[in-house]
Structure 1
Amino acid sequence: MTEVGALLAGRYRLERRLGSGGMGVVWLASDELLQRPVAVKQLSAAEGASPEVAEEARQRAMREGRIAARLHHPNAVAVHDVTEHDGFPVLIMEYLPSRSLADVLAEKGRMTPGAVASMGAQAAAALDAAHAAGITHRDIKPGNLLLGDDGTTKITDFGISHAADDIAVTRTGVIAGTPAYLSPEVARGHAPTPASDVYSLGATLYAAVEGIPPFGDEATNSIALLHEVAAGQFRPPQMAGVLAPVLARMLQVDPAQRPTPAQASEALQAVVSGAPSPLPEPDHTQPISAVAAAAPGGGTRLDNVPVRSPRRSRRWIYLAAGAAAVVLVLLAVLLPSGGQEQPKEQAAAPAELERVVSDYYALLPEHPGNAWTRLGTGLQAQGRAGYEGFWSSVADVRVVEPPQASGPGVVRVTVELVMPDGTRITELHQLGLRGAQQPKIESDAILNSSTSAPPPPPPPPARVEPPREKEEGKKDENKGNEDRKGEEDKKGEDN
């Protein structure tokens, strides 16, 4: 058994254990040849594993080393070397002082949309480079995103990834990946693709901002969870704010409707900067509510998982199509012909934008219905019921730092939410507004957030009993006063 202080391959000295997983243990080690810290991933077969399984583990580790050696990107953990110890491969990887996203979420519960967007933009950029090298990760999840102390995000663990031109060692009939973060097509038996990685990253970012994956976790029943994932219908995000439209595109059921990693990275970076989303409008001529049947031959045994039909009826679709046709006819009649470019809408003055934001928060939390009318279509698309439900759970809203225009159509404001139990949540919001006459709030990104717990109630005052000696002295004093008063009254009668 490997212990602290062991020397691997004559140069890697193990210093301390960083973590462990289903495939082995990760150590912090010192490369005594190059005098640098490294992470050592030591793989081993499960106890009692058959020779076939043990050989599969060896092949998988060697494959990981070959694949990762192709990938050089600042947001992907680099593999420096592959060696062997006790008959099993050992991967020598870049060491990043960091915590996994899974650990961060276990401690904090969730993250702000701005922080999640920054993290996601970096991870998507790494996926773009991996896909260009012919690599599909296949297991993007919170445990495989490392958050560095300097704000860097890196993807790790290509241990079950698949290169297009490399040998496949995952045995037929086994799903490789974590159920809560699988794409619907993979959950139904299809081979993973780059689009599957985009979906898994979207599910990971959803979990980071909402505190739970789109379909829940596998703590109760993994098979039931796979059925939910295969159906592809999940609860719309409630806490994502301006990040919600990007997540919706990444979590499309139809892989063709999802953005590429490069597009996702650019869109997530736009959320961070407050810029308009660069994502093209989805192609609504393609179905997005179902996936193709499972691939024939092999794969998982979920080929016949039923996909729940969409909740909206065909009648609703026909009415919507008819309404769209009417709108197109009206536009053709009302818009000027000749292809002349129309003048751009003038932006409202900074003072007007600040006034709109100030008026918006003045309505909350007592009048969420009126505040709702100040929102643009992008935010209203997330649902009025959820919006009013959230504000009904807030006791008070206080503007800590008044609205300040920070760019064209952009206002920043710091507010404090007071919850019924006394908890105070301070948030820095970056709001995007559009419109010259009556600007609407089109986007809302939380750039920073902090929570202070309510102070404990003061203990009841202790009851202090007066000392008996003082009490008796007081009685004697009162008696003396009564005696003197009686003598004075007697003298008055004699006179």
Structure 2
Amino acid sequence: MAEVGALLADRYRLERRLGSGGMGVVWLAADELLGRPVAVKQLNPSAVSNPELVEEARQRAMREGRIAARLHHPNAVAVHDVIEQDGFPVLIMEYLPSRSLAEVLEDKGRMTPGAVASMGAQTAAALDAAHAAGITHRDMKPGNILLSDDGTAKITDFGISHAVDDVAVTQTGIIAGTPAYLSPEVARGHAPTPASDVYSLGATLYAAVEGVPPFGADADNSIALLHEVAAGEIRPPQLAGVLAPVLTRMLHVDPAQRPTPAQASEAMQAVVAGAPSPLPPVTDPDITQPVARVPAGSPSQGTRLNNVPVPAQRPARSRRWIYAAAGAAAVVLVLLAFLLPSGEREQPVERSATAAELERVVSDYYALLPEHPGNAWTRLGTGLQAQGRAGYEGFWSSVADVRVIEPPRTSAPNTVLVGVELVMADGVRITEHHQLGLRGAQQPLIVSDAVLNSSTSTPPPPPARTERPEPPGKEKREENKGNEDRKGEEDKKGEDS
């Protein structure tokens, strides 16, 4: 293994070790070519006891580099380069001065629902971009979320992630991930999916707001914990407040009932904004969420926990009739496909909006503000409009000017980044960077708005008014003028006499 001061690839100078775990060691290094700090993740072959697994570890690290290079999102740690050192791959990653969520929770115990919702909206947006690139993270947990001082949250460590079009190198029978944050289906041996990523993120956010994962964290008996996770009986959230309904949906035992990452991000943005949740209702009322029994005498015993309904357990009805109905419907559709004329069978395929079109929508939106908030309102989706038009127009009436300081830029499918400066009526300037989500092809609407960072500058107070100093010699001139006036009066008296 390399030591402090080592130079990798004639470019990256190792400065200090940031941490280690699993199969890797992470260093802080200086990129001497570009003059910037980077994080260097070095594979540790000595951590693999079985020589046959060393090659698998090498393949896994190389795959991590190929996969992570596909992902470009402001809430995902970027991979800049992949090099080799002593025959093993080394990842050169973005360095983010930060602490992991695990470290924050170890220090604070838990976080407020609002702070967790803000963090969750950012990380869910990053998962949405990862899934769009064909990446499943597979190990969402507090240790893999980094938090910076300005409130930015980023997902890191795609070391055991899996791209759907990549060759799997994890041995059959090995469960990748951390038991306390696994989804029930993965704990039962199924392959990880994007829906299981949503569950693991929900479990991570649950731990952040409740102080403990949904199934506890029995590190001494991981097998028993796996059995509990596989049963899917979550401990109802008691401290999450308005965030509880979102977490409950993300932790649904049925993957089909969980929101997509984009839906989860939008829902948590609504929590931050105090707006109604845009999550669609559960599509099958026969599917209930298993909930662990509340101990007798608990203040939450009964039908509600902190005003959040606790689903009742009831035996699931036989679903054979659903499959039979689905089969009959499929037969009918096939018959209709042959009976209808070909012109009626063909349906136009709606194209997706291009990056240029999405950027134009965002540019036009800010061009309408602050003078025409009514027109700008029509460019928003129903989720954002749920905040209320009166409050929306009231806010923009307090803004004197809007300046786009960083032009709209598409960062992921249906995602645009933009930097703006708001000049308020009292002179205060607010600089913000937004991540906007858009939906629609013909006339895309802005359906989500996440503030990635914000700063405020107050104009300096006007200088205090002071008395103007008398010009030099003014008193002397006035004295001379007085003497001249008196002399003139004396001369006039002499003439009169």
Query: Alignment partner of 2:26: what SS?
Result: strand
Q: Which amino acid aligns with 2:308?
A: A
* Alignment-derived partner of residue 136 in structure 1: 136
DSSP 3-state at the match of 1:235: coil
Letter in 2 for 1:161: S
In 2, Cα distance between the equivalents of 1:16 and 1:206?
A: 33
- The C-alpha deviation readout for 1:185-230, integer Å capped at 9, x for no partner, is 0000110100000000000000000000000113220000000000
Kindly state the Cα deviation for residue 46 of structure 1 after the two structures are TM-superposed: 3.6
Return the alpha-carbon distance in structure 1 between the equivalents of residues 238 and 164 of structure 2.
38
Q: How does 1:360-379 map to 2 (within 5 A)?
A: 379=306
Change (3 A) 1:27 1:230: same
Residue 210 of structure 2 corresponds to residue 283 of structure 1: no
The answer on whether the counterparts of 1:236 and 1:382 sit within 8 Å (CA) in structure 2 is no
Deviations 1:80-100 (A, max 9, x none): 000111221100000000000
- Superposed counterparts of 1:213-292, under 5 Å: 213-289=213-289
Residue correspondence of structure 1 range 473-492 to structure 2 within 5 A:
none
What CA distance in whole angstroms lies between the structure 2 residues aligned with 1:204 and 1:286? 27
| Secondary structure in 1 matching 2:92 | strand
Q: Is 1:33–2:33 an aligned residue pair?
A: yes
Tell me which moved more, 98-107 or 37-46. 37-46
Unaligned runs of 5+ in 1: 291-307, 313-367, 370-375, 384-406, 409-495
Q: Is structure 2 residue 308 aligned with structure 1 residue 381? A: yes
Once the two structures are superposed, the pairs formed by residues 141-180 of structure 1 within 5 Å of their partners are: 141-180=141-180
| Unaligned stretches of 5+ residues in structure 2 | 311-389, 392-497
Query: Which residue of the partner structure matches residue 456 of structure 2?
Result: none
Change (3 A) 1:119 1:289: closer
Q: Contact conserved, 2:80 with 2:93, CA < 8 A, in 1?
A: yes
Query: Aligned-pair distance for 1:176?
Result: 0.3
Q: Secondary structure at the match of 1:13?
A: strand
Match of 1:67 in 2: 67
- Give, as a single letter, the amino acid of the residue that structure 2 aligns with 1:203: A
* Matching residue's letter, 2:307: Q
Separation of aligned partners in 2, 1:46 and 1:212: 33
Counterpart AA for 2:180: A
Query: For 1:100 and 1:125, how far apart are their aligned partners in 2?
Result: 18
Residues 45 and 53 in structure 1, CA contact (< 8 A), matched pair in contact too: no
RMSD across aligned C-alpha pairs, in angstroms? Answer: 2.4
Q: Judge conservation of contact 2:238–2:305 (CA < 8 Å) in 1.
A: no
Whole-Å separation in 2 of the counterparts to 1:135 and 1:286: 32
- The corresponding residue for 2:313 is none
- Structure 1 residues 29 and 311: CA distance shift in structure 2, 3 A: closer
> What is the distance in 2 between the residues matched to 1:377 and 1:160?
39
Contact preservation (8 Å) 2:114, 2:271: yes
- Which has the bigger relative contact order, CA under 8 A and spacing at least 6? 1
**Could you list the per-position Cα deviations for residues 376-398 of structure 1 after superposition, in whole angstroms to 9, with x for gaps in the alignment?**
99953357xxxxxxxxxxxxxxx
**Which residues in structure 2 correspond to 1:309-324 (within 5 Å)?**
none
Deviations 1:57-92 (A, max 9, x none): 100000000000100000000000001112211000
Instruction: Quote the Cα distance in structure 1 between the aligned partners of 2:232 and 2:123.
Output: 23
Structure 2 counterpart SS, 1:185: helix
- Partners of 1:44 and 1:57 within 8 A in 2: no
> Does the CA contact (< 8 Å) of 2:241 and 2:306 recur in 1?
yes
What is the DSSP-based 3-state SS (H/G/I as helix, E as strand, rest coil) of the residue aligned with 1:192?
coil
SS of corresponding position for 1:165: coil
Provide the residue aligned with 2:190 in structure 1: 190
* Distance of aligned partners of 1:114 and 1:147 in 2 relative to their CA distance in 1, 3 Å threshold: same
Q: Which residue of 1 aligns with 2:44?
A: 44
Structure 2 Cα separation of the partners of residues 218 and 184 of structure 1: 16
Aligned match of 1:87: 87
Q: State the Cα distance separating 1:261 from its structure 2 match.
A: 0.2
Q: Which residue in 1 is equivalent to 2:322?
A: none
What is the match of residue 124 of structure 2?
Answer: 124
Matching of residue 98 in structure 1 with residue 94 in structure 2: no
TM-score, length-scaled by structure 1: 0.59
Whole-angstrom distance in 1 between the partners of 2:48 and 2:129? 38
Distance 1:98 1:13, change over 3 A: same
CA distance in 1, matches of 2:133, 2:95: 22
SS in 2 for 1:69: helix
Displacement after TM superposition at 1:120 (Å): 0.3
Deviation of 1:47 (Å) = 4.3
Q: Provide closer, same or farther for how the CA distance between residues 48 and 78 of structure 1 changes in structure 2, counting only shifts above 3 A.
A: closer
| 1:110 alignment partner in structure 2 | 110
- Decide whether aligned partners of structure 1 residues 23 and 218 sit closer, same or farther in structure 2, where only a CA change above 3 A counts: farther
Give the 3-state SS of the residue equivalent to 1:81 in structure 2: strand
Contact conserved, 1:250 with 1:259, CA < 8 A, in 2? yes
Identity, in percent, stands at: 80
Establish whether residue 181 from structure 1 lines up as the match of residue 108 from structure 2.
Answer: no
Letter paired with 1:246: V
Alignment of 1:416-431 (within 5 A): none
1:76 match: 76
Paired residue secondary structure (2:45): coil
Q: Aligned equivalents of 1:381 and 1:154: distance in 2?
A: 29
Residue 50 of structure 1 deviates from its aligned partner by 2.7
Is the 8 Å Cα contact of residues 206 and 212 (structure 2) preserved in structure 1?
Answer: yes
CA 1:145–1:259 in 2, change beyond 3 Å: closer, same or farther?
Answer: same
1:201 aligns to 2:201 (yes or no): yes
Amino acid at match of 1:120: G
Greater shift in the superposed pair: 195-204 or 80-89: 80-89
Task: State the TM-score, normalized to the length of structure 2.
Answer: 0.59
Conserved? CA contact 2:145–2:156, under 8 Å: yes
Aligned residue in 1 for 2:352: none
* C-alpha deviation, 1:22, in angstroms: 1.1
Match of 1:477 in 2: none
Quickly say closer, same or farther: Cα 1:85–1:286, change in 2 above 3 A: farther
Q: Residues of 2 paired with 1:197 and 1:162: CA distance?
A: 11
Deviations 1:325-349 (A, max 9, x none): xxxxxxxxxxxxxxxxxxxxxxxxx
Deviation at 1:149, TM superposition (A): 1.8
